[in-house]
Amino acid sequence: MGNAGGVMLHIDTSQLTGLVSRMEATLTPYQFQKLMRRVLAPSRVGSHVRMTLKKELPNDYQATPAWIGQQVGSPRGAGAGGAFGCSIPVEGARGRIGKQFAARAGAGGHNITKGFAGRKGSRTRRAYEISASIVTSGNSILPSKGDAIHFAVFGGPKKGFYARLPGEGNKIRPAVGIGVPQMPTNRSEDNVQEEILYYLKQRIEHEYNYLISRCR
């Protein structure tokens, strides 16, 4: 339930190997390196990747485009000997339940019988059933019994949704859902890969034609 570490979103560019090889054969090493630098310019590819994730991920996840866009870094790529690759770093913590992901608490949770001793001694409290909007296909019911117990604080400065995590005794943490780093490699992977690959193909062809026109 802690923070999600960053991941590298690797774009499968194997479909472009033949195209890149044919272009490389007509260029000098310097020209080919220049072509790759222009194709993978962060200001262009990075902006498109960010736009793609902001468009595709909300189709599967209840996440705002603004939050998604903040987690996308500049692309990293390389091309040589016909090999061509592109990876995009995606950072960010898991989204907070009640903040990035809307949630509500209702009746139906189980009693908490341990781990919540206060100034008045141990007390049994009710863990309300928490329904969170994480995926677009339906609400997710967070566990209210077992090791990871979720509960709500309804007022005061600590108002929000929390979880008691296994192995941490009485400690509680803000309840969290999925993070942006996991989204492109989960439900939305195919659409994201296809969209970015199509854009890279267009970029390669455009920059190659531009480079050839300058050599005439």
Which 3 state secondary structure label does DSSP give 80? strand
Contact 115, 87 (CB under 8 A): no
Assess whether pLDDT exceeds 60 at residue 125.
no
In this prediction, residue 2 carries a pLDDT of 38
Q: Which residue has the higher pLDDT, 150 or 2?
A: 150
Contact 130, 147 (CB under 8 A): no
Average pLDDT of span 75-101: 76
> The pTM is what?
0.68
Average pLDDT of span 86-97: 86
Q: Which residue has the higher pLDDT, 181 or 122?
A: 181
**Which of 87-96, 113-122, 150-159, 179-188 has the lowest average pLDDT?**
113-122
Q: Which residues contact 3 (CB under 8 A, 6 or more apart)?
A: 93, 94, 179
In this prediction, residue 84 carries a pLDDT of 67
C-alpha distances out from residue 39 to 43, 186, 205, Å: 10, 27, 9
Nearest in space to 66 (alpha carbons), one of 100, 103, 98: 100
Question: Phi first, then psi: what are they for 162, rounded to 5°?
Answer: -135, 170
